[in-house]
Amino acid sequence: MSENRGLIFAYELDGHGGGRALDMDGVRAWRPGAGPLWVHLDYTGEDAVDWLDNHSGLDPLMVQALTAVETRPRSLVHRDGLLGILRGVNLNPGADPEDMVSIRFWLDADRIITLRHRRIMAIDDLRQAVAAGEGPARPGEFLSELADRLVGRVATVISELDDTTDELESEVVADQTTALRQNIADVRRVAIALRRYLAPQRDVMARLHTEKVDWLDETERLRLREVADRTTRFVEDLDAIRERASVTQEELNGRIAERMNRTMYILSIVAGIFLPLGLLTGLLGINVGGIPGTDNPWAFSIFCVLLVALAAVQVWVFRRKHWM
């Protein structure tokens, strides 16, 4: 079955970490008691929509929530099942990690239904683990594994962002170039974009381990609580990165302004020295009668010496007044 029809893959789990691959006909023929079903769908595909509407047995409101175009992280217990929407960093080729991809899922005692439109690396990891016989054996284990893998990839991105911030802080002290402004702005943009989804996802993770569903055992709840703690820590790290980037930006602006002020001060000193000299040369350069020294062959040399002496006096006065 091609991916654009909706079904990406499906497994009938054997309860020991492995599973038997199914096509869409196999998914439709599956019945509870045959082993937990994991079906992974592209929610924009025709077969996915048809199965969700007509064969999944899900409440229409749950189907609507799972296939919504715009989503934010959330969780909801409905009857004996759990609806969840989480976000993972976008590690697809050519994509920006902060453009986080949504993964939607419905879990109950017998089924795992996951939906996405763009590829999720954490789901690929779990698929490979099932194919190798080392995957989750039950829905509760699947949820804890998925949450852990999503957060693990976020950790990598935030660590790289933190390293970039450290480098920018060092470059501001050493280099102070205006080109750093764009790099600092990029760090702040990425941190803001990541926090936009991680902040509500932190709340979702904090609720998952307390949801009242029978198929989550104590070990899985403890693992979900650990994931929630890590997510909270990452949100705090993003806040710290934003603050550090803001401080770095202010430091850069201050240093650039200081350097510009120093340059303008030097130009002002030079202009102050040459202003009276220019006035004198301008007066003697007008082409009218009565200019003194026109008949004296030493007049130009004497005038140059006077200009140098005047400049020296100005420099002495500026130094006395601590202007230079």
CA distances from 25 to 4, 10, 39, 130 (A): 16, 11, 12, 20
Residue type, 122: A
**Taking the chain (324 residues) in consecutive chunks of 10 residues, what is each chunk's mean pLDDT?**
72 93 92 89 90 92 91 89 92 80 93 92 94 93 94 91 89 71 88 90 90 90 93 94 90 84 86 82 72 76 85 83 75
Q: Is residue 259 part of a domain?
A: no
User: Cβ(140)–Cβ(220) under 8 Å?
Assistant: yes
Rounded CA separation 234/73 (Å): 16
CA distances from 195 to 89, 94, 98, 99, 135 (A): 11, 21, 9, 11, 30
| Residue 111 phi, psi dihedral angles, 5° rounding | -135, 150
Domain that includes residue 19, residue range: 3-254
Looking at the structure, tell me whether residues 214 and 162 fall in a common domain: yes
Rounded CA separation 47/70 (Å): 21
Rounded CA separation 175/280 (Å): 43
pLDDT of residue 145: 94
- CATH number for the domain spanning 86: value is 3.30.460.20
Looking at the structure, tell me whether residues 155 and 269 fall in a common domain: no
CA distances from 264 to 155, 269, 271 (A): 46, 9, 10
User: Cβ(292)–Cβ(299) under 8 Å?
Assistant: yes
Q: Is residue 63 part of a domain?
A: yes
- CATH number for the domain spanning 274: value is 1.20.58
Rounded CA separation 210/265 (Å): 65
Determine the Cα angle at 285 with ends 281 and 291, to 5°: 105
pLDDT of residue 228: 93
CA distances from 293 to 50, 284, 287, 302, 307 (A): 105, 10, 13, 10, 15
CA distances from 194 to 187, 199, 228, 235 (A): 11, 9, 16, 9
Q: Is residue 161 part of a domain?
A: yes
Distance, C-alpha 286 to centroid of its chain:
66
Looking at the structure, tell me whether residues 20 and 43 fall in a common domain: yes
Looking at the structure, tell me whether residues 66 and 163 fall in a common domain: yes
User: Cβ(24)–Cβ(47) under 8 Å?
Assistant: yes
pLDDT of residue 177: 65
Is 79 exposed, middle or buried, given 0-12, 13-18 or 19+ CB atoms closer than 10 A? exposed
pLDDT of residue 32: 84
Tell me the pairing of strands 111-116 and 37-42.
parallel
β strands within 81-231, DSSP E: 81-88, 101-107, 111-116
Looking at the structure, tell me whether residues 134 and 204 fall in a common domain: yes
Spatial strand order of the sheet with 101-107 comes to: 19-21, 7-13, 37-42, 111-116, 101-107, 81-88, 74-78
Looking at the structure, tell me whether residues 67 and 116 fall in a common domain: yes
3-class DSSP assignment, residue 13:
strand
Which structure tokens are listed for 68?
Answer: 């919504």
How many domains in the chain?
2
Distance, C-alpha 210 to centroid of its chain:
29
Looking at the structure, tell me whether residues 246 and 277 fall in a common domain: no
User: Cβ(37)–Cβ(21) under 8 Å?
Assistant: no
